[in-house]
Amino acid sequence: MEQTERESRSRFGRARATVRTRLIAGVAVLVPLVVTFLALRLVFQWLDGFAQPLIKGVLGSEEDIPGLGIALTLVVVWVAGILGGNVVGRRVIGQGDDLIAKIPLIRGIYTPVKQFITTLVSPNPRHSFRRVVLAEYPSDGRWILGFATGEMSLPDGKSGCCVFVPTSPNPTTGWMVVFPKDKVQETGLSVEEAMQVIVSGGIVIPEALGRAYVNEDFLPFESPPEAADLPDPPPTPANPPPGA
Distance CA 148, CA 47 (A): 40
- Decide: 135 and 143 in contact? Cβ < 8 Å: yes
Q: At 235, is the secondary structure helix, strand, or coil?
A: coil
Q: What is the pLDDT of residue 24?
A: 66
Q: What is the pLDDT of residue 217?
A: 44
Give the β-pairing of 131-136 and 184-186.
antiparallel
- What pTM value is reported for the model? 0.44
Q: Which residues lie below 8 Å from residue 187, measured CB to CB, with a gap of 6+?
A: 132, 133, 134, 145, 194, 208, 209
Q: What is the pLDDT of residue 226?
A: 47
Q: What is the pLDDT of residue 184?
A: 92
Q: Is the dihedral of CA 11, 16, 20, 26 positive or negative?
A: positive
**Looking at the chain, which runs of residues are DSSP E strands?**
131-136, 143-153, 159-166, 174-180, 184-186, 211-214, 217-220
Cis bond leading into 169, ω under 30°? yes
Q: At 153, is the secondary structure helix, strand, or coil?
A: strand
Distance CA 62, CA 65 (A): 9
From first to last of its 244 residues, the chain has per-residue pLDDT tens of 566 766 666 777 777 777 776 776 666 667 667 777 888 888 888 888 888 888 888 877 778 888 888 888 888 888 877 776 677 777 877 787 778 777 776 666 666 666 666 665 555 555 556 688 999 998 888 999 999 988 889 998 889 999 999 888 777 778 899 999 989 998 888 888 888 888 888 887 877 666 544 334 444 444 444 444 445 555 555 555 555 4
